[in-house]
Structure 1
Amino acid sequence: MILSWRRRRSSNNKSSEPALNDSSLDTDVMIPTHFRCPISLDLLKDPVTLSTGITYDRESIERWIESGNQTCPVTNQVLNSFDQIPNHALRKMIQDWCVKNRSYGIERIPTPRVPVSPYEVSGICSRIEVATRCGDDRKCVELVRKIEAWGKESERNKRCVVNNGTGCVLSNTFLSFASVSIEKHVGLLVEILSVLAWMFPLGEEGQSKLGSTASLSCIVWVLKNGDLSARQKAVSVLKELLSLNQRLVDKLAEIEGISEALVKIIREPICPKATKASLTAIFYMISPSQTSVRFTSRFVELGLVSLITEILVDAEKGTCERALGVLSGICDTKEGREEASKNALTMPILVKKMLRISGMATEFAVCTLWKLCKNSKKEEDGDGGVLVEALQSGAFQKLLVLLQVGCSEATKEKVTELLKLLNLQRNRSNCVDASMDFKYLKRPF
């Protein structure tokens, strides 16, 4: 096999070099067969040898094993061990060959970092447990930063760290130091949050410790008082916790300032990731429960409805889905619907986003519209203001199109009910041109 290094390099400089002719193929560099991975047939970048004696590129053989295979791809022998021993001698030979052929545009492969092993992870976890019992926060910071550095090196390292119980150990350390003094140990606590953000799910014991009142109070404290980076880490962890256990909402209700902290992240954006995490946390907090009504009322008081409508004007897909979900949840309450109805942007935004984002966004938009229109008469909207506004925003035509393109059964029921409500109001007003209603609809026969 021949890898056209010279030809590839030339194609990247078309403006300065003439196109290669057939004679240039003679200068292509042939990669020695033993420098190739038997799986990918590419140049080995991180050669490792299995128990069968065959060498592969680490990334390729890891994918092979993670797919459920238990044999050596070349010999087809069952692997007695999945250990991958770095072949330093071969890697050095490949690097020397790359340097020798650099005039042909071949770049020297970097020396790979040795991935972390389960033994190393278990060792550092034991040291963290000892430092926690001794109350040595400096040693804990040093060890947590070591774990964070491992995670930044590769996804493989992250998997190894997560799969060896690190999340539970760090959750216990977080709870221990948060129970003593948040202000005194805030540096360590933020470092732990930074690592825990990519360790979910933590396991039952880890989630229990991180979901304790003391731990949640610490997370809320960081949300209110931390710097931008710390607040981003805290809201990411809170979002993951709530996604796994919504019963934590009852505990959060007893912690002062959580609603204000989450709304502040939306009002004063840190980054898109933090905004989405905050919206997701709010969504779980206002999901139907006895406590959710209190949270919804507080979010309405803090002006969340107007913030969401502003976000929806030009937000990207993920943020739009979450914002529409929160708006739908807010409209479960009377005061939420009143606030949404008063906002001039609500109806045009719902209609505009109905078919433009995703199936999930469409369901949330229809559900919110349905809640506003269905309850308009019950809440003494005698002049049909909500329905008239929906008609003026083009909701009738948009809903008809939605029936044509298809949607879930639950959404279809809401669409049908909305069309009946809007049609009654439409017959009483001249706000909709009836001749345009079915212009773009296909006949069903």
Structure 2
Amino acid sequence: MAKEALHITVPSVFRCPISLDLMKSPVSLCTGVTYDRSSIQQWLESGHDTCPATMQVLPSKDFIPNLTLHRLINLWIQSSTLRPGSNSPRLLPSISEVRAKLLMERIESQSCVDSLSKVSEFVSGCEENRRFFVRFDGFVEVIAGVLRRKCVEIEALEMAVGILDLVSSENGVRELLNKLIFKSNQENNFLSAIVFILQNGSLDSRVKSVRFLDSLALDSESKRRISDSQDLISILLQLLQTDNSQTLNDAVTSILTTISITRSIKSRLIENGVVKIVSNSITEKSLKLLATLSSCSEGRSEISSNPKCVAAVVEKLLKLSKTGTEDAVMVLWSVCCLNKEEKVRETVVKGNGVTQILVIMQREGEGTVKMMCRDLVKALRAVCKDWCLGSYETKTTHIRPC
């Protein structure tokens, strides 16, 4: 078993007041406060004329090296085994409000890749770090603003969506983002950025983009606006058909299920071949989508015309979680009992579906699933040759083959 990484606490006097990192080149302003050279240079070059720690206006922006502090830091490094190449304790990422403000300003000024990288590293550290930034005034708006800009490099878009995906579970963030994007008519630029990531980004950023978009579909209006993006729907279906990543496929299938709230949306997905695509690899996520699509006549007809899909659903019946089993039964009930397709019923019987349905019916308590199983047994009687289901009473509690 790998040993858990050790962490070491840096004395506060050795930390830069801006970055909160261990100072590499300490320098002092005329106010007497010492900072790391790179941090204070960045602060001053951003147009500030105050000392970050005291907020005093600086009569002079000159600074001098603090050689004494530099020497003490080097002695401490040697004594704490923080030597390059050694298995040393690592420093936890930390950040000050001054540093956070500076990073936000740089991201807003569109000089953002390096600053986004630093924010991404920090929020990836722990839940406390994410909460720190979420509480920081304007943070969510600034990061979301990157996705609404035009002509932004792919690295910046990937980092922005990764940051938002990480913090979206924090209290109130999804609601705020939903309002920023879908309630202010800014979704076109935002959705275009998501499409760009899906077309050009890494696998990890694609997964995060789809998952993040799914988390923002909080109401019927946002779901409709997502579904109205023909470019987005096309690229999602293309990824589902061509990408071998099960994680990405599950994320795509999940969002397609989320937005399938009206008959017109379901019909559009069906017309674009989604049933055939998901039939190639039936998973619990794809079963949820099939169950959703089977609620309309077009969906039932499409599933019924695809024997491979029906056979795959039957094959999965007893290999799923409770929710997955419910979705599988829903699909079979829809095509066997509502559509009443004879060939579909034959496919279910040939796949040993009757036995599996009886097992599910026996272990289920009273409820919708058990009711659908009873209906399925009745519907399958006519084509079942190996079981004498004519005398089988579907209200009994045990399987009794004749």
TM-score (norm 2): 0.68
Aligned to 2:92: 114
Mapped to 1, the partners of 2:230 and 2:136 lie a distance apart of: 27
Aligned to 1:390: 348
Q: Is the 8 A contact 1:263 1:304 kept in 2?
A: yes
Q: Which residue of 319, 322, 339 corresponds with 1:376?
A: 339
Matches within 5 A, 1:214-253: 214-223=188-197, 225-229=199-203, 230-242=205-217, 244-245=218-219, 247-253=221-227
Q: Is the 8 A contact 2:198 2:235 kept in 1?
A: yes
Q: Is the 8 A contact 2:195 2:235 kept in 1?
A: no
Mapped to 1, the partners of 2:142 and 2:174 lie a distance apart of: 15
Is 2:134 the counterpart of 1:161?
no
| Residue 150 of structure 1, CA deviation | 2.4
Mapped to 2, the partners of 1:389 and 1:361 lie a distance apart of: 20
State the secondary structure of the residue aligned to 1:165: helix
Is 2:374 the counterpart of 1:399?
no
State the secondary structure of the residue aligned to 1:418: helix
Is 2:252 the counterpart of 1:294?
no
**Superposition RMSD on alpha carbons, in Å?**
3.7
Q: Is the 8 A contact 1:46 1:91 kept in 2?
A: no
Between 1 and 2, higher relative CO (CA 8 Å, sep ≥ 6) is seen in 2
Matches within 5 A, 1:260-409: 260-269=234-243, 271-286=245-260, 288=261, 292-312=262-282, 320-377=283-340, 381=341, 384-406=342-364, 409=367
Is 2:103 the counterpart of 1:149?
no
Q: Which residue of 190, 202, 207 corresponds with 2:178?
A: 207
1:135-168: CA deviation from partner (whole Å, max 9, x where unpaired) = x212x2221100122245x3x2x43224431798
Is 2:165 the counterpart of 1:194?
no
Aligned to 2:110: 137
- What letter is aligned with 1:241? L
1:58-117: CA deviation from partner (whole Å, max 9, x where unpaired) = xxxxxxxxxxxxxxxxxxxxxxxxxxxxxxx99998979xxxxxxxxxxx8631213425
Aligned to 1:316: none
Residues 270 and 145 from structure 1, CA distance in 2 versus in 1: closer, same or farther, beyond 3 angstroms? farther
- What letter is aligned with 2:386? V
1:290-324: CA deviation from partner (whole Å, max 9, x where unpaired) = xx322222222222112211112xxxxxxx11011
Matches within 5 A, 1:65-104: none
Q: Is the 8 A contact 1:331 1:368 kept in 2?
A: yes
Q: Which residue of 414, 428, 440 corresponds with 2:372?
A: 414
Mapped to 1, the partners of 2:116 and 2:190 lie a distance apart of: 20
Residues 409 and 91 from structure 1, CA distance in 2 versus in 1: closer, same or farther, beyond 3 angstroms? farther
Mapped to 1, the partners of 2:156 and 2:356 lie a distance apart of: 53
1:21-43: CA deviation from partner (whole Å, max 9, x where unpaired) = xxxxxxxxxxxxxxxxxxxxx99
Mapped to 1, the partners of 2:79 and 2:102 lie a distance apart of: 39
Residues 362 and 307 from structure 1, CA distance in 2 versus in 1: closer, same or farther, beyond 3 angstroms? same
Residues 251 and 174 from structure 1, CA distance in 2 versus in 1: closer, same or farther, beyond 3 angstroms? farther
Q: Is the 8 A contact 2:250 2:285 kept in 1?
A: yes
Mapped to 1, the partners of 2:306 and 2:81 lie a distance apart of: 65
Number of equivalences: 321
| Residue 394 of structure 1, CA deviation | 2.2
- What letter is aligned with 1:176? G
State the secondary structure of the residue aligned to 1:328: helix
Q: Is the 8 A contact 1:167 1:196 kept in 2?
A: no
Mapped to 2, the partners of 1:283 and 1:43 lie a distance apart of: 40
State the secondary structure of the residue aligned to 1:137: coil
Q: Is the 8 A contact 2:158 2:197 kept in 1?
A: no
Q: Which deviates more from structure 2 when the two are superposed, residues 324-333 or residues 165-174?
A: 165-174
Residues 131 and 273 from structure 1, CA distance in 2 versus in 1: closer, same or farther, beyond 3 angstroms? same
1:254-276: CA deviation from partner (whole Å, max 9, x where unpaired) = 32312111111111216332211
Q: Is the 8 A contact 1:363 1:411 kept in 2?
A: yes
Mapped to 2, the partners of 1:46 and 1:179 lie a distance apart of: 38
TM-score (norm 1): 0.62
Q: Is the 8 A contact 1:137 1:185 kept in 2?
A: no
Residues 408 and 223 from structure 1, CA distance in 2 versus in 1: closer, same or farther, beyond 3 angstroms? farther
1:394-438: CA deviation from partner (whole Å, max 9, x where unpaired) = 222211111222357221121122222223x24xxx633439x98
Mapped to 2, the partners of 1:147 and 1:301 lie a distance apart of: 42
Aligned to 2:141: 172
Residues 238 and 395 from structure 1, CA distance in 2 versus in 1: closer, same or farther, beyond 3 angstroms? same
Unaligned runs of at least 5 residues, structure 2: 11-74
State the secondary structure of the residue aligned to 2:243: coil
Mapped to 1, the partners of 2:270 and 2:119 lie a distance apart of: 41
Unaligned runs of at least 5 residues, structure 1: 1-7, 9-41, 50-88, 97-107, 313-319
- What letter is aligned with 1:302? N
Percent identity over the alignment is 16
Residues 391 and 168 from structure 1, CA distance in 2 versus in 1: closer, same or farther, beyond 3 angstroms? farther
Residues 401 and 92 from structure 1, CA distance in 2 versus in 1: closer, same or farther, beyond 3 angstroms? farther
Mapped to 2, the partners of 1:110 and 1:186 lie a distance apart of: 35
Residues 343 and 441 from structure 1, CA distance in 2 versus in 1: closer, same or farther, beyond 3 angstroms? same
